[in-house]
């Protein structure tokens, strides 16, 4: 009895199937290794250790301009009479301000109103007259002349004058901010060094720096500012003082 030999076609098919199976298994293993490698790199790339600190810095600047709010108020039996008296007094105030060297573009009307004046008796309300108010906001670029301008306004407006307040500012809002940020960065580095030393690690380079992210950056405020009235024969003393500018920075440092 003769044993049948497999045909060349059957042998070829069998070998082909084995090769495909081996290739599939090999690709599957390589794919698994490759997938695990990418996942490991992704996880490692997102894990960063460091020290996060919030630094604060302060700088002082000398104000070079002042903002003065001045005006007049008049009361009369009629609205027209009150308006007329206020207009006359305000024209004198404006003339005094301009004669002191303030340009037109630095004078702006900030408030105007004509309102009734009431009296309250025995649960009844009665109009006894009218009040007219007119005020302007004045920008003074020579801080040394603020006192003289206040005196001139008071003299021109007489008993109708109203001076609501004086504030000092810098014509360059960014002035002092650069130094404040530098001081904040130095403060952040000092804090990070102390933390690293306490933790027994070495401090590395900054990973990220964000200005103003860990606190509010303050608007420049007047420091040691005073304004007081003197006697009738004494010029009004005005002290511009200096402005305090504060900056905050959030810094993340790498550690080793």
pLDDT digits (tens, 9 = 90+) for 197-215: 999 999 999 999 999 878 5
pLDDT digits (tens, 9 = 90+) for 45-104: 344 578 999 999 999 998 999 999 999 999 999 999 999 999 999 999 999 999 999 999
Tokens 């604060």 sit at which residue?
56
- The pTM (predicted TM-score) of the whole model is 0.61
Q: Report how far apart, in Å, the C-alpha atoms of 92 and of each of 98, 125, 132 are.
A: 10, 35, 16
Reading the block at residue 208, the tokens are 């990220």
Q: Where are the alpha helices (DSSP H) in 47-124?
A: 79-99
């Amino acid at each position: 009895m003769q044993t049948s030999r497999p045909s060349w076609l059957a042998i070829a098919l069998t070998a082909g199937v084995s090769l495909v199976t081996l290739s599939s298994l090999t690709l599957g293993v390589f794919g698994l290794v490759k997938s695990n490698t990418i996942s490991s790199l992704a996880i490692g790339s997102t894990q960063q250790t460091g020290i996060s600190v919030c630094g604060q810095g302060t700088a002082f600047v000398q104000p070079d301009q002042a903002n003065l709010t001045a005006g007049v108020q008049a009361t009369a039996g009629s609205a027209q009479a009150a308006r007329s008296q206020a207009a006359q007094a305000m024209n004198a105030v404006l003339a005094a301000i301009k004669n002191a060297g303030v340009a037109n573009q630095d004078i702006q009307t900030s408030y105007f109103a004509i309102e009734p004046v009431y009296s309250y008796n025995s649960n009844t309300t009665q109009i006894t007259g009218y009040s007219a108010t007119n005020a302007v906001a004045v920008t003074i670029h020579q801080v040394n002349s603020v006192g003289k301008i206040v005196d001139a306004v008071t003299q021109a407006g007489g008993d109708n004058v109203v001076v609501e307040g004086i504030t000092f500012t810098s014509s360059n809002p960014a002035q002092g901010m650069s130094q404040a940020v530098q001081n904040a960065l130095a403060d952040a580095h000092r804090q990070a060094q102390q933390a690293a030393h306490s933790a027994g690690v070495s401090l590395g380079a900054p990973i990220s720096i964000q200005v103003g992210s860990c606190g509010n950056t303050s608007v420049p405020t007047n420091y040691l500012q005073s304004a007081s009235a003197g006697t009738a024969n004494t010029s009004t003393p005005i002290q511009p003082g200096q402005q305090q500018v504060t900056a905050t920075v959030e810094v993340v440092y790498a550690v080793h």
